[in-house]
Each structure stands twice: as structure tokens, then as C-alpha cells.
């Protein structure tokens, strides 16, 4: 089974997200557990969490088909103690929301180290991940690869491996691979999608791939920029996604569209499902 769908809105009520995904023909989807651009939000009501869980079942989604994304303000690698505390508190809150929704994975960017050595930033990122896991039972954390601009961590398998090596609870840590980020970081997804996934499995094991973001790219290979495009309209091209959705590593994990044109989502889901 391939769990294919977009990152849907939680506007008005988080419970509506499953219905929105269902209406698009999705078999999986992604959400934010709260507004992704603010530091705090009212607590998630148990009635809303219960309605979300009921709608998952109603519309045929399993918890493993949904990939929540942590908010953009969180920087696990920051050297700033004030920002670190705010990031940790927000990350814990969003992980608790994830657990209360009956979901088992939350996706996080590894962060930017801003100053000093990259290895120090990796240790800080790993340390925050472990703190969240100590506070919240029943979830895993998926570290998302990046395009590697500036001091942002996680653009190579080597960096992802190092972050993992610094964590304590390794069995509860895995990865989300974003195709546009891979391409921006220098992984030629257009020509070698299958080999890239083979290399990932060889290095980490297939169980460490907890999800993927399937995005074409507006910017060239090795640009170190993150500009998503609709499937087949960018510089990666349609054929690479055919290879990805047929690869053994993408079975039973969320394959999430973060493509920019919502009017194309239904067609993209149909296309990827047919692949």
C-alpha cells in the first residue's frame, strides 16, 4: 500500500483534515497540529482530538498514513539558549498534540547551527530530539533532509547519519526524504531516484524511512535552494516519481505532496496512484 496525499488544511477544526484529504482521493495526508508560524496556541481540545480519530476511521485512513509536520519556528540546532528553550517547549507541545491525535510520527527540520561548527549543531539537534522523546511516549521523530542553504543541517545522508548517531533513542528516530530538497542538495533524483533510495536503505535500513515529501523542483540540481513545483512540471520530471512510488522502500509510509498548485492535487494523487 502507498499512502499518497497532500498536506491539507486544519482550518476551522483539525478533524476536518481527513475529510478534505478523502475528497481529493488521497490515501494518506499531512497536517500541522496548530498554526505553524506562531509560538503558542490554545490546547487541543479532547473533543477535537476524538473527532479527528473518528474521522480517520470513517474515511479509511490509518494512523500510519498521516505525517504531521512540526512548526517552522522550531530550530533544534540553535546555539541561542532563549530560542532553544522556546523551540523545545513548542516541539514538546506539538509532539503531545500528535500523540493525542492517535498518530505515531512527527516530522521535524534538523535546524540551522547559525555559528561555530556544524557538528555542534548536530549534537544540539540530536539532544533536543532526545528531550522530546523523553517527554512524549508513543511517537517517533522523522528528521527531514534539507537543500542545505547556509548553516542549515541535514542536506546529505552523511549529516543525517551523524545526527542519528548523536541521539540516544535511535529506535524512535527516522527520516523523511523530500525529493526537491534532495535535488537541491545535489542528489540527482531525475536520473537516479532508485539508486538514491537503494543507498538510503543500505546505509540506514528501510525501517528508517518514515515518510517522503514528493515535490518536483523549480530550481536546478545542487542549487541549495528549496522551491517546490508540481509533479512533472519541474526539473526532476514525472519519470522519477514513477520510480519512487514503485520502490520497495515507499511501501506503507506517507508519500506527501507539498506541491504549490492545490488545483492539481487531485490529478497528482491520481497520477502517483496509477504509477
CATH number at residue 50: 3.20.20.150
Nearest partner of 55 among 5, 13, 94, judged by Cα: 13
Task: State the Cα–Cα distance between residues 91 and 126, nearest whole angstrom.
Answer: 13
pLDDT < 50 stretches in the chain: none
Element (H, E) at 265: helix 265-274
Detail the DSSP E strand segments found in the chain. 3-6, 29-31, 66-68, 105-108, 140-144, 173-178, 209-213, 216-217, 228-229, 254-257
261 Rama class: left (phi>0) / alpha (psi -120 to 50) / beta: beta
Domain count along the chain = 1
pLDDT in tens, 38-96: 898 889 999 999 999 999 999 999 999 999 999 999 999 999 999 999 999 999 999 99
Question: Which amino acids are annotated catalytic?
Answer: 37, 69, 72, 109, 144, 178, 181, 213, 226, 228, 258
* Cell representation of residue 76: 533544534
Task: State the Cα–Cα distance between residues 273 and 275, nearest whole angstrom.
Answer: 5
For residues 15 and 59, the answer to whether their CB atoms sit within 8 Å is no
Instruction: Provide the residue range defining the domain that includes 54.
Output: 3-274
Q: Which pLDDT belongs to residue 5?
A: 98
Q: Structure pTM?
A: 0.96
Angle between helices 265-274 and 238-246 (to 10 degrees): 50
Task: State the Cα–Cα distance between residues 68 and 97, nearest whole angstrom.
Answer: 10
Amino acid at each position: 500500500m502507498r499512502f499518497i496525499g497532500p498536506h491539507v488544511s486544519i482550518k476551522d477544526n483539525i478533524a476536518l483534515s481527513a475529510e478534505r484529504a478523502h475528497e481529493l482521493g488521497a490515501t494518506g495526508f499531512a497536517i500541522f497540529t496548530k498554526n505553524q508560524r506562531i509560538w503558542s496556541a490554545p490546547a487541543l481540545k479532547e473533543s477535537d482530538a476524538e473527532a479527528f480519530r473518528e474521522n480517520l476511521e470513517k474515511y479509511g485512513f490509518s494512523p500510519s498514513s498521516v505525517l504531521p509536520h512540526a512548526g517552522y519556528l522550531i530550530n533544534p540546532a540553535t546555539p541561542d539558549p532563549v530560542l532553544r528553550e522556546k523551540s523545545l517547549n513548542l516541539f514538546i507541545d506539538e509532539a503531545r498534540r500528535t500523540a493525542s491525535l492517535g498518530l505515531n510520527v512527527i516530522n521535524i527540520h534538523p535546524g540551522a547551527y547559525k555559528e561555530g561548527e556544524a557538528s555542534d549543531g548536530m549534537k544540539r539537534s540530536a539532544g533536543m530530539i532526545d528531550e522530546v522523546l523523553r517527554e512524549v511516549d508513543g511517537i517517533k521523530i522523522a528528521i527531514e533532509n534539507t537543500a542545505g542553504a547556509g548553516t542549515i543541517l541535514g542536506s546529505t545522508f552523511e549529516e543525517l547519519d551523524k545526527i542519528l548517531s548523536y541521539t540516544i533513542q535511535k529506535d524512535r528516530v527516522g527520516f523523511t526524504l523530500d525529493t526537491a530538497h534532495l535535488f537541491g542538495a545535489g542528489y540527482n533524483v531525475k536520473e537516479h531516484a532508485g539508486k538514491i533510495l537503494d543507498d538510503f536503505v543500505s546505509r540506514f535500513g528501510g525501517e528508517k524511512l518514515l515518510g517522503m515529501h514528493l515535490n518536483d523542483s523549480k530550481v536546478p540540481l545542487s542549487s541549495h535552494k528549496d522551491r517546490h513545483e508540481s509533479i512533472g512540471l519541474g526539473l526532476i520530471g514525472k519519470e522519477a516519481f514513477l520510480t519512487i512510488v514503485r520502490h520497495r522502500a515507499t511501501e506503507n509510509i506517507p508519500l506527501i505532496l507539498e506541491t504549490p498548485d492545490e488545483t492539481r492535487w487531485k490529478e497528482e494523487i491520481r497520477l502517483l496512484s496509477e504509477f
